[in-house]
A and B are shown apart, each in its own frame.
Chain A
Amino acid sequence: ETGVTQTPRHLVMGMTNKKSLKCEQHLGHNAMYWYKQSAKKPLELMFVYSLEERVENNSVPSRFSPECPNSSHLFLHLHTLQPEDSALYLCASSQVTTGLEETQYFGPGTRLLVL
């Protein structure tokens, strides 16, 4: 498989559930990102991992917990979510190298509904 893949594509969960979103990139990139896209709002950057280290955490509630075990995989662990967390969660990757083009490539997203 090529590019950036995400599973599951759709997820419905209750507020007491624990679930995880998975992202995998097949592009040999060294940085991965989680974004949240809510209705009527622009994409919001949640977390950035560069060389497997978290370099950005944009004031995201602790009920969202990222994990980057290696440069190809990124997880978003979810627990005790709220209905307002329902959104499209997008993963992206890029090659961050000074002086070179750093295009971000996005996965297809996971549509999350919290009941």
Chain B
Amino acid sequence: GIQVEQSPPDLILQEGANSTLRCNFSDSVNNLQWFHQNPWGQLINLFYIPSGTKQNGRLSATTVATERYSLLYISSSQTTDSGVYFCAVEGGGTSYGKLTFGQGTILTVHP
């Protein structure tokens, strides 16, 4: 099956800093999502981005499908950004939302 690797595994920032999270995947995809999991376990959608670039406030994401990677940018980080960030993909051969998740990046933002 498709493999998903996220880096870095852990990231510690001071409030106000910028960061880039990376997601590499091993095959073509027709679905790629970024999620934020808060300390209570809730997974929140950030972006649906199988290709191209999107922005939402301080967050933006870019997926280069031909090179099989996606980047999540967080600017002017806040303590509320802390949590685990997951990249999840669905390989090109399926059509019912079979997402494969990466291991996640644990982000800690200090005040």
B103 interface hit (Cβ, 8 Å): yes
- With contacts A42-B101, A102-B31 taken as known, whether A96 is within 8 angstroms of B42 at the C-beta atoms is no
- B43 A102 Cβ-Cβ under 8 A: no
- A96 B96 Cβ-Cβ under 8 A: yes
B76 interface hit (Cβ, 8 Å): no
How many Å lie between the Cα of A90 and that of B99 in the bound state? 13
Interface string of B16-51 (1 = CB under 8 A from A): 000000000000000101010000111111001000
Chain A residues with CB below 8 A from B111, complex form: none
Main secondary structure of the interface of B (DSSP, over half): strand
- B43 A90 Cβ-Cβ under 8 A: yes
Q: Which of B41, B45, B90, B103 contacts A88 (CB 8 A)?
A: B41
Query: Looking at chain A, what size class is its interface with the partner chain?
Result: 20 to 34
- B96 A31 Cβ-Cβ under 8 A: yes
Interface string of A96-115 (1 = CB under 8 A from B): 10100111111011010000
How many Å lie between the Cα of A45 and that of B88 in the bound state? 11
A2 to chain B, nearest CB (A): 14
- With contacts A103-B33, A103-B48, A104-B33 taken as known, whether A45 is within 8 angstroms of B98 at the C-beta atoms is yes
How many Å lie between the Cα of A37 and that of B97 in the bound state? 18
B62 interface hit (Cβ, 8 Å): no
- B45 A103 Cβ-Cβ under 8 A: yes
A28 to chain B, nearest CB (A): 15
A48 interface hit (Cβ, 8 Å): yes
> Please, could you name 11 A-B residue pairs with CB atoms under 8 Å apart, sorted by A?
A33-B99, A42-B86, A43-B86, A48-B98, A56-B96, A96-B96, A102-B48, A103-B33, A105-B45, A108-B41, A108-B42
Which residues of A approach B to under 8 Å, CB–CB?
31, 33, 37, 41-45, 48, 50, 55-56, 88, 90, 92, 94, 96, 98, 101-106, 108-109, 111
- A42-B103, A94-B97, A102-B97 known; 11 other A-B pairs, CB under 8 Å? A33-B97, A37-B41, A41-B103, A42-B4, A88-B41, A101-B48, A103-B33, A104-B33, A104-B88, A104-B97, A108-B42
